[in-house]
Amino acid sequence: VYPIGPRDGFQNVHPAIPTTAKLELIRRLHEAGLQAIEITTVVRPEVVPQLADCETILADPHIQRLLSSSSLCLRTPVLVPNLKGLNIALQHNVREVAVF
């Protein structure tokens, strides 16, 4: 069991949540010692406008450090709906994906 708030928790909230707030939540979850955090979903902006910043989140320096961590104590899956989403995730050094 791991938190999916940075992904699922934001997708139906209006108005849009600032990217900085999403990044802060991920940082705090990591600092709290969670062992897995589902970072985001790589999805088309017109499908889920709240997640239009998925590539910005994945490119953030703190997120890149989490994604490239060699620690076995932290999992950072990213949800991908299709091959295009997988390719984008891989371009951002994502090591684990969830598929729907």
**Exposure of 17 in the CB half-sphere (CA atoms within 13 A):** 20
Q: Residues 1-26: what's their mean pLDDT?
A: 79
Give the start-to-end residue ranges of the domains of the chain. 5-99
| pTM metric for this prediction | 0.87
- Confidence check: pLDDT of 53 > 90: yes
pLDDT value at residue 6: 64
Q: Look at residue 14 and tell me whether its pLDDT is greater than 90.
A: no
Confidence of residue 5 (pLDDT cuts 50, 70, 90): low
Q: What is the largest CA-CA distance in the chain?
A: 36
